């Protein structure tokens, strides 16, 4: 039976560590902490760790290819033994969702998110689970690239911690009870 592969999107390096575009990496780090594992083994240009939820193996991955090339890493990871697109969950930030919200979908388009676009292009399918984390600004921004690569404001810390915690619960629900149950509970 295939293992779950949970991929958080982001950009490698300390300069990106706490930016809006790295919410996927932040959630992977929280899941690793909960599973008492580390995400540090190098595989397919990703850092990978392994844990268990409800006797199911979960592999956590943080592609190190930079956001726009995430598909290269993810397609390599999915092609390995004991992995499948059916048990792939991709975590990304989403400018169209209000900050502090999440959306789980069993499949769908990239919605303008370049990491998802790259994964869809490389896998040649949109049929994988995704968990999107809202980063929508309260006011219009002129430079979207700068906005997503900025760090969160100090006043956002509590909301950020809350949504990451809820999102970790959502990932665990996907693994234990399925995507439909997670959507019913968290969307």
- pLDDT of amino acid 54: 92
- pLDDT of amino acid 86: 96
CA distance 149 to 127: 28
CA distance 151 to 15: 9
Q: What is the pLDDT along the chain (187 residues), one digit of tens a residue?
A: 789 999 999 999 999 999 999 999 999 999 999 999 999 999 999 999 999 999 999 999 999 999 999 999 999 999 999 999 999 999 999 999 999 999 999 999 998 899 999 999 999 999 999 999 999 988 888 898 899 999 999 999 999 999 999 999 999 999 999 999 999 999 9
Residue 21 appears among annotated catalytic residues? yes
- pLDDT of amino acid 141: 85
Residue ranges covered by each domain of the chain: 4-186
Distance from CA of residue 183 to its chain's centroid? 16
- pLDDT of amino acid 52: 94
Q: How many CA atoms lie within 13 A of 162 on its CB side?
A: 10
Contact 175, 56 (CB under 8 A): yes
Residue 65: burial class (beta carbons within 10 Å; 0-12, 13-18, 19+) = buried
In words, the CATH class of domain 4-186 is alpha beta
Question: Rounded to whole angstroms, what are the CA distances from 107 to 29, 37, 74, 87, 127?
Answer: 24, 28, 16, 12, 5
- pLDDT of amino acid 1: 72
Catalytic residue among 5, 6, 21, 113: 21
């Amino acid at each position: 039976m295939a293992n779950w592969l949970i991929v958080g999107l982001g950009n490698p390096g300390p300069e990106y560590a706490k930016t809006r575009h790295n919410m996927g990496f932040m959630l992977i780090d929280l899941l690793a902490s909960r599973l008492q594992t580390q995400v540090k083994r190098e595989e397919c240009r990703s850092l990978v760790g392994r844990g268990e939820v409800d006797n199911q193996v979960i592999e956590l991955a943080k592609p190190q290819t930079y956001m726009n090339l995430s598909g290269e890493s993810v397609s390599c990871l999915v092609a390995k033994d004991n992995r499948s697109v059916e048990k792939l969950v991709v975590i990304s930030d989403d400018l169209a969702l209000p900050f502090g919200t999440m959306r789980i979908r069993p499949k769908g388009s990239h919605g303008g998110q370049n990491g998802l676009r790259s994964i869809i292009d490389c896998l040649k399918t949109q049929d994988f689970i995704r968990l999107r984390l809202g980063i929508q600004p309260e006011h219009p921004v002129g430079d979207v690239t700068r906005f997503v690569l900025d760090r969160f404001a100090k006043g956002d810390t509590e909301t950020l911690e809350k949504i990451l915690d809820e999102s970790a619960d959502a990932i665990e629900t996907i693994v234990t009870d399925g995507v439909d149950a997670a959507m019913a509970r968290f969307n």
